Structure 1
């Protein structure tokens, strides 16, 4: 089975061709690194120099695509070059192969090659000097360090810097991704919060307007129609005021930039009074005491939405609102008659129940809503439990 060599990079081809042409130029000019009279020049003459030169140029083609193979073959070529008169370009190409093997090779080779070449440089310095006792013997280790250890160490330094840059870029990308995820989650949470606020503030008034306008259109009694129109006007004015305050939160240039005070449980009396004006028979029993602001806001909105649902859907009868605090938990319970209405109703989308459940979940509380049996007949019961211990105050709307 034939072994298919990896395709060389274009830049590596340029290096190989340039180096080969440079080596051939030095060879044509007769410039060698050693005279033919040296004792260890076993292959004197001009022609033997070309074999290591061409092999080294071929290795340059593989400097990045297969760096370990290129270094092994190049090492054999540089050893062969030692026994010829030598060519300076052959040595320079070998230093590049050493550098490329560390920079582009596997991580294990990148750390192993500098250690091996460093030991060879030390051995090439100590052993010849110990054997020959000549100062010139130290040059063997110096040359080994320049040709092998120097390029290997340089390649390791460049590789470490490159890996650090890649790791920094990945961390930056991950940080940007996390920031985008946080931004998306924040936008989603803010949209959900604004949807709950808009629904809770305006739905009550619009439901009253829809019910009373239907009654005014269906009845021919002038007095009843007049009373319905009064209720419609009151709710439309109140709803418009709520909308303006909400817009003032969203737009700094709306002319209403003052912060809007969050509703508190002290306002339950006014809320119940407004529900009675709209035609509900409501009783209120509140004994919760002082609770944290987030719990207070959630409880108020749950009562407000429950009264809105009772106005739209409840049958004739009494609506009971009760709040009590016990064992670190605020319990909110609203009951209303469950059955067909005698008068006009208003359509619902179910967003109110979703909003109440979300408000309770944000405070690690519970929420339940559904029909129940009671001594007075079938009722619709809403029950929420909101922990009041260890609550961090803030906006949980």
Structure 2
């Protein structure tokens, strides 16, 4: 069985210095016969040294055991009144009262000033009734100076320290929240950049992969020339998009959308490129735009999100759809913009490009950031992509 040892806290160096200094001053006053009073119950010279020594010991533990020090110190100052008394004992008692408020538990720190105030009033009234002269008021003032005044001073110092600690804690919490906000902003910006890069470059690279595969697998000069033409067109377009994004990041730090933000008015060009890229796979592309002509402009983030969703859907169709017709439908009504893309779903006979699923994740993120709804799933022989985006001003501020 292991013995358990309880480690007692050691007195603070400053407290030991105060205790030794107080004891030394008291002994010096005692050696010269300097007392606070005379003709007391215990008028022997050595009697004044007992409260002095006890009070010095309480000074040594004023910080680690403030309530005990105050209790013992109160007994010592009371006993000192029955001897010739020492000024050092009185001064050390005021410090013990102060320390009890500053270092003691919160409950004690609140009670001690009120208790000393009541003691001061009680002593004053008691001596007024007993002596019935003005000297009793002087005794009351002295009692307040050695008990109530140190307690009030300790309460003021403690309140200032607690206020400083609270302010420091608030500053640390504010700094922590600012760091969390900064980290979240960095993560959000990285996610936005990843979505933009994927949506801008993936369709071009997918077309390049499909047509390069076709050029390598078919030994026909006309087919190879056509595939190389498509590859060159997508390479140039992808390079231009990359330069545009790099210029954006250099100029604005990525805080704003590109200067020329793609809009739904450019869907015709998007479908034209999809027709060129998907012709070898037997795909046809049809656009059905039912938005009212001359309507109010949509918020830029909504237009960009809708454009990217159509772009990614067409890219996935070129990569994975079986031969057939890809239908793109765009409608606006009841304060929402709807985007629907239907593509043939089944086994593909021609070349295809591998997918990672990040495109679907990006479309869903774009929709949810604007407070919309997104769904992508197979329904029989058709792969359906559905996005519902709010078309009001709140969506533009999301």
For normalisation by structure 1, the TM-score amounts to 0.92
**2-structure distance, mates of 1:327, 1:319:** 26
**2-structure distance, mates of 1:340, 1:5:** 80
Q: Does 1:352 align with 2:359?
A: yes
Q: What's the offset of the Cα at 1:167?
A: 0.6
**2-structure distance, mates of 1:303, 1:357:** 12
Q: Does 1:298 align with 2:305?
A: yes
> In structure 1, what is the equivalent of residue 391 of structure 2?
388
> In structure 1, what is the equivalent of residue 201 of structure 2?
202
User: Which of the numbers 355, 372, 378 marks the counterpart of 1:371?
Assistant: 378
> In structure 2, what is the equivalent of residue 16 of structure 1?
19
For normalisation by structure 2, the TM-score amounts to 0.91
**1-structure distance, mates of 2:133, 2:93:** 28
> In structure 1, what is the equivalent of residue 286 of structure 2?
283
Corresponding pairs, count = 384
> In structure 2, what is the equivalent of residue 192 of structure 1?
191
Task: Please give the residue correspondences for 1:322-333 in structure 2 after superposition, counting only pairs within 5 Å.
Answer: 322-333=329-340
Q: What's the offset of the Cα at 1:329?
A: 2.4
> In structure 2, what is the equivalent of residue 128 of structure 1?
127
> In structure 2, what is the equivalent of residue 116 of structure 1?
115
Kept after mapping to 2: 8 A contact 1:120/1:141: no
Once the two structures are overlaid, the 10-residue window that deviates more, 149-158 or 382-391, is 382-391
In 2 relative to 1, CA 386–112 (structure 1 residues): closer, same or farther, beyond 3 Å?
same
Once the two structures are overlaid, the 10-residue window that deviates more, 11-20 or 258-267, is 258-267
**1-structure distance, mates of 2:49, 2:377:** 94
Task: Please give the residue correspondences for 1:179-258 in structure 2 after superposition, counting only pairs within 5 Å.
Answer: 179-252=178-251
Kept after mapping to 1: 8 A contact 2:371/2:395: no
> In structure 2, what is the equivalent of residue 25 of structure 1?
28
Kept after mapping to 1: 8 A contact 2:47/2:83: yes
> In structure 1, what is the equivalent of residue 165 of structure 2?
166
SS in 2 for 1:260: coil
**2-structure distance, mates of 1:167, 1:62:** 27
In 2 relative to 1, CA 288–391 (structure 1 residues): closer, same or farther, beyond 3 Å?
farther
What are the ranges of 5 or more consecutive residues in structure 1 without an aligned counterpart? none
Kept after mapping to 1: 8 A contact 2:45/2:84: yes
Kept after mapping to 2: 8 A contact 1:124/1:138: no
In 2 relative to 1, CA 4–236 (structure 1 residues): closer, same or farther, beyond 3 Å?
closer
Once the two structures are overlaid, the 10-residue window that deviates more, 196-205 or 382-391, is 382-391
**1-structure distance, mates of 2:389, 2:8:** 71
Kept after mapping to 1: 8 A contact 2:245/2:258: no
**1-structure distance, mates of 2:215, 2:368:** 40
**2-structure distance, mates of 1:102, 1:346:** 77
**2-structure distance, mates of 1:259, 1:237:** 19
